[in-house]
Structure 1
Amino acid sequence: MENTLAPAVPASTTMDSELEFIATLPKQLFIDGEWIDASDGATSAVEDPSTGATLAWVSDASPSDGERALAAAARVQDSWAGTPPRERGEILRRAFELVTARADDFALAMTLEMGKPLAESRGEVAYGAEFLRWFSEEAVRISGRYSMAPDGKSRLLVTKRPVGPCLFITPWNFPLAMATRKIAPAVAAGCTMVLKPANLTPLTALLLTEVFQEAGLPAGVLNVIPTTRPGDVTGPLIRDSRLRKLSFTGSTGVGRQLIADSAHQVLRTSMELGGNAPFLVFEDAELEAALDGAMLAKLRNMGEACTAANRFIVHESLALQFSQGLAGRMGSLKLGRGSAEGTNIGPLIDAKSRAKVDELVQDAIAGGATALTGGAPSDGEGYFYAPTVLTNVPSGARILQEEVFGPVAPVVSFRTEAEAIALANDTEFGLVAYAYTRDLNRGIRLSERLDVGMFGLNTGIVSNPAAPFGGVKQSGLGREGGTEGIEEYLETRYIGIADPS
């Protein structure tokens, strides 16, 4: 099957109305309640991935700016921790309402700096805002317990208190949701924080910061320091005794290094790292439903998501139909600028990312794989890659072991349930898995045997603010979202009380 893509050619320059919008967004650091330039005057460019042109220049924090941000967070930690839970919750609720009211602004900011189509950006606004609403309700539900000791000679009182100042390092692929997923539980728990957003997509985080300021978050509670010098800026913070928690979303390689760095201060850490999600299709699956789910699981965010389906493991009786059906759907998608009408697939984030995707595809093809559609970068400016379906993928292909982070679907087949589970678990990662089957008993077995932190049964989307997000093995530590999410920002304290009698 030949690729039926007809890529939209992006405009050479950003539209005037979009540039006018970008001009209204904050571009400075936010420290101790004030918008300020970097102490050394440095700035860095934010690029439009659909053209490669510069969208804006943003203040580029120096190490001294990082120290000032942590000092502000540490200074107000005790007063913020003493703020009534209801008041913290009300701030989050106001922030939710403000983000929702400015949904179009957030969507356009994300689309311009990250590349995803506006429809997907609007979806992220709804998803990201929901963390603010969810944790506004959790703020007043922090509780402990009181009980008699088993021997009856004392009383046991268990309380929770905020961990303390936190450092958040967020990725470029979901610039709003990855920020709210960390900030909201920290605010609810009574922690102060320093946020270092990805230097590729800082504008959305800065717009969110403006919203929190309008919502009444006190000065010093949230400090935001975009920087292109992450090691120089965050390294000293991680070694600083005033910092008590580090939360990172990004690659497993960087996560390993941050875990090692955090050992010096024995920091509490939350790590949401890489993924290599299997998508299993069994012989009894409803084919059209499985294809619908595959499109969702693979192409959300152009495949640039840790939850993206990376390996399609399909029963041999359906492998050909599934592969052809998926190629037909992916081959009919329209590439283009995310803000352009009719765009289904936007650009990848940068040239390096596109080159890595193509490297994995060409490695598979060199090993004998066949591209039913796509298989190469798209022509024209910007960092576009044609949606690709690969069949006959050899077992040793890198694309089956490495996170693709692009619109590429490698398909392999299996005969037995045991073989499917073995193939799915054959990875160092364990974030999420998807499976389509009409057999409920099989679904339960899969939920127990797949080595992942999340499992989607007959669905291509699992992320939900009310559910715990996180993985096992080298996909990370800790959970974000759900009732579990706030626990990452709370310390447990036990108080022994003498027998009152």
Structure 2
Amino acid sequence: MSAVLSPALVAHLPTGLLVDGHWGPATGGRTFEVADPATGAVLFDVADAAPEDTRRALAAAHEAAPAWRATPPRARGEVLRAAFERLVARADDVAALITAECGKTRAESRAEVVYGAEFLRWYAEEAVRHPGLVRTAPAGTNRQLVHRRPVGPALLVTPWNFPLAMATRKIGPALAAGCTVVVKPARLAPLTTMLAAEVLREELANAGLPPGVVNVVPTARAAAATAPLLADHRLRKLSFTGSTAVGRTLLAQAADHVLNVSMELGGNAPFLVLADADLDAAVDGAVVAKLRNAGQSCVAANRFLVHDSLAREFARRLAARFEALRLGPGNEDGVDLGPLVDPAAVDKVDELVADATERGAQVLTGGERPRGPGSFYRPTVLTGVDPQARAVREEIFGPVAPVVAFADDDEAIALANDTEHGLAAYAYTTSLARAMRLSDELEAGMIGINRGMVSDASAPFGGLKQSGIGREGGEAGIEEYLETVYVAL
């Protein structure tokens, strides 16, 4: 058991399935282990949902849907607002749990609590703002009424790397729109999502609202547990965050029933440093864009494309910053960078670094896993990287920064867009004209100009090309859970 978790949290943390307002065991009593990535120690045994359990959860969501849809928008918003306040009040416990199951540093975990809770506050306010339309038809023969209504029960599949924020970013708009939900949290880090669900369950109960509005089905057998739901006509929405490969599979399954889908998939974010960039600012931004959650973020900078005149100095300064960071368990004081999520993640990062060096890249710093327990990898800077290296072509999901030099802006944009992904991009320049050109020509759904972070609960989050379909966050997020109805009067 991790020493950072308070006895009160441990005593009351749910580890079962939440179905129709009650926590309980999985069919057959099956469980799976959740481990601390910094030590490998088992934290909790969590219920392992079977297909029959997920079907029960969908049945509960379907049963609760009419009453929740009929609940006044203000009442739905007040449940979300109350849950926001509860999570913020328990920020220390929630952050400790994030650190325990994800390995994040304390500072990063606290930042996620603020960010993740904000989705509940934002959508508490958006719940009462569904725009509609009434107008006279151009021919003058009738009136047109356009209104919005909830799409229906939704399956929300969340990743492990932001276990609070990725859950609230989906649950918040779904509940605000009037949809009931079945949440399938990630096997590696389900606990924080389950804690947030318990807060929502309690607030729904306090308000006398239907118990089946929020259901949670952790499982180590995701494909088997979710397949029956995708084939069930009662499910009306799928929202998935994860890899592009899994997203393609889910899209194929959803096609059979023409299921409404939202997909937030993989990234391969370029970080451009143009010839006129403020190099100090670019290095500061690179550290933020690359090392948030040890590089385990879909919007992490993946490829550093730097003008020839700056590439050597940029790489040198970035390596110096990386070398100054302290690597260790996230719950220890003074730690700047935590572990990767599991040994398999370390193996993949090591493979990508080995491939780059075999193609001629040089390691300025890092490039190895330290001795001792835990899934750690030293922050790494590579120079002279072949643009065809796997570390440039694939999502790294670790603390590795491959630096590729370019000659001019045209080449930089071509290199940046040379990927199947289009989630995020970053660029540093002191020229407004260059910034505007990049905003027009970079093939990414989110672009950070002279800043290394783009995420904000009030802004639309999503990508182009094979990085996804739809948007989360901002005004656009609730649109994913509403359907448009036109009435001719």
TM-score by length of 1: 0.95
CA distance in 1, matches of 2:330, 2:39: 11
The Cα shift of 1:21 comes to 4.3
Q: What residue is the counterpart of 1:373 in the other structure?
A: 365
Q: What residue is the counterpart of 1:334 in the other structure?
A: 326
Give the secondary structure class of the aligned counterpart of 2:411: helix
The one-letter amino acid paired with 2:480 is E
Q: What residue is the counterpart of 2:420 in the other structure?
A: 428
CA distance in 1, matches of 2:488, 2:379: 61
Unaligned runs of 5+ in 2: none
Counterpart among 97, 100, 105 of residue 93 in structure 2: 105
The Cα shift of 1:209 comes to 1.1
The Cα shift of 1:231 comes to 1.2
Instruction: Establish whether residue 92 from structure 1 lines up as the match of residue 80 from structure 2.
Output: yes
The one-letter amino acid paired with 2:364 is L
Instruction: Establish whether residue 258 from structure 1 lines up as the match of residue 262 from structure 2.
Output: no
CA distance in 2, matches of 1:16, 1:130: 24
Instruction: Establish whether residue 234 from structure 1 lines up as the match of residue 220 from structure 2.
Output: no
The Cα shift of 1:152 comes to 0.6
Q: What residue is the counterpart of 1:416 in the other structure?
A: 408
Instruction: Establish whether residue 185 from structure 1 lines up as the match of residue 173 from structure 2.
Output: yes
Percent identical residues: 59
Q: What residue is the counterpart of 2:437 in the other structure?
A: 445
1:179-233 deviation line (CA, Å, top 9, x unaligned): 0000000010000010000011011011101111222263000000000111111
Is the contact between residue 38 and residue 61 of structure 1 (CA under 8 Å) also seen in structure 2?
yes
Alignment of 1:347-426 (within 5 A): 347-426=339-418
1:408-466 deviation line (CA, Å, top 9, x unaligned): 00001111100000000010000010000000011000000001101000000000011
The Cα shift of 1:283 comes to 1.4
The one-letter amino acid paired with 2:78 is E
Give the secondary structure class of the aligned counterpart of 2:309: coil
The Cα shift of 1:370 comes to 0.5
Unaligned runs of 5+ in 1: 1-12
1:303-331 deviation line (CA, Å, top 9, x unaligned): 00000000000011111110000000011
The Cα shift of 1:332 comes to 1.1
Counterpart among 54, 66, 71 of residue 66 in structure 1: 54
Distance 1:409 1:16, change over 3 A: closer
Q: Report the more deviating stretch, 281-290 or 240-249.
A: 281-290
Instruction: Establish whether residue 486 from structure 1 lines up as the match of residue 474 from structure 2.
Output: no
Q: What residue is the counterpart of 1:159 in the other structure?
A: 147
Give the secondary structure class of the aligned counterpart of 2:101: helix
- What is the root-mean-square deviation of aligned Cα atoms in Å? 1.1
1:6-37 deviation line (CA, Å, top 9, x unaligned): xxxxxxx7438667743431111110000111
The Cα shift of 1:400 comes to 0.5
Is the contact between residue 4 and residue 100 of structure 2 (CA under 8 Å) also seen in structure 1?
no
Q: What residue is the counterpart of 1:128 in the other structure?
A: 116
The Cα shift of 1:154 comes to 1.0
CA distance in 2, matches of 1:95, 1:19: 22
Give the secondary structure class of the aligned counterpart of 2:161: coil
Counterpart among 35, 38, 51 of residue 47 in structure 1: 35
Distance 1:388 1:162, change over 3 A: same
Distance 1:260 1:17, change over 3 A: closer
Q: Which runs of 4+ in 1 moved over 2 A?
A: 13-24
Q: What residue is the counterpart of 1:4 in the other structure?
A: none
CA distance in 2, matches of 1:391, 1:336: 25
Is the contact between residue 22 and residue 55 of structure 1 (CA under 8 Å) also seen in structure 2?
no
The one-letter amino acid paired with 1:252 is T
CA distance in 2, matches of 1:215, 1:257: 35
Give the secondary structure class of the aligned counterpart of 1:220: helix
CA distance in 2, matches of 1:446, 1:17: 45
CA distance in 2, matches of 1:136, 1:384: 39
Distance 1:224 1:56, change over 3 A: same
Is the contact between residue 100 and residue 125 of structure 1 (CA under 8 Å) also seen in structure 2?
yes
The one-letter amino acid paired with 1:195 is V
CA distance in 2, matches of 1:24, 1:173: 23
Give the secondary structure class of the aligned counterpart of 2:394: coil
CA distance in 1, matches of 2:109, 2:32: 24
CA distance in 1, matches of 2:5, 2:410: 56
Is the contact between residue 22 and residue 56 of structure 1 (CA under 8 Å) also seen in structure 2?
no
CA distance in 2, matches of 1:110, 1:325: 31
Is the contact between residue 172 and residue 197 of structure 1 (CA under 8 Å) also seen in structure 2?
yes
The one-letter amino acid paired with 2:109 is S
CA distance in 1, matches of 2:90, 2:474: 25
Is the contact between residue 281 and residue 436 of structure 1 (CA under 8 Å) also seen in structure 2?
yes
Instruction: Establish whether residue 30 from structure 1 lines up as the match of residue 30 from structure 2.
Output: no
Is the contact between residue 276 and residue 309 of structure 1 (CA under 8 Å) also seen in structure 2?
yes
The one-letter amino acid paired with 1:184 is G
Distance 1:366 1:423, change over 3 A: same
CA distance in 1, matches of 2:43, 2:12: 12
1:225-282 deviation line (CA, Å, top 9, x unaligned): 0001111110000110000000000000000000000011111100000000000001
Is the contact between residue 339 and residue 375 of structure 2 (CA under 8 Å) also seen in structure 1?
yes
Give the secondary structure class of the aligned counterpart of 1:51: coil
CA distance in 2, matches of 1:211, 1:371: 46
Counterpart among 460, 464, 475 of residue 472 in structure 1: 464
Is the contact between residue 4 and residue 331 of structure 2 (CA under 8 Å) also seen in structure 1?
no
Is the contact between residue 303 and residue 402 of structure 2 (CA under 8 Å) also seen in structure 1?
yes
Give the secondary structure class of the aligned counterpart of 1:317: helix
Give the secondary structure class of the aligned counterpart of 1:40: helix
Q: What residue is the counterpart of 2:338 in the other structure?
A: 346
The one-letter amino acid paired with 2:166 is M
Counterpart among 221, 228, 231 of residue 213 in structure 2: 221
Is the contact between residue 22 and residue 109 of structure 1 (CA under 8 Å) also seen in structure 2?
no
Instruction: Establish whether residue 172 from structure 1 lines up as the match of residue 160 from structure 2.
Output: yes
CA distance in 1, matches of 2:371, 2:9: 28
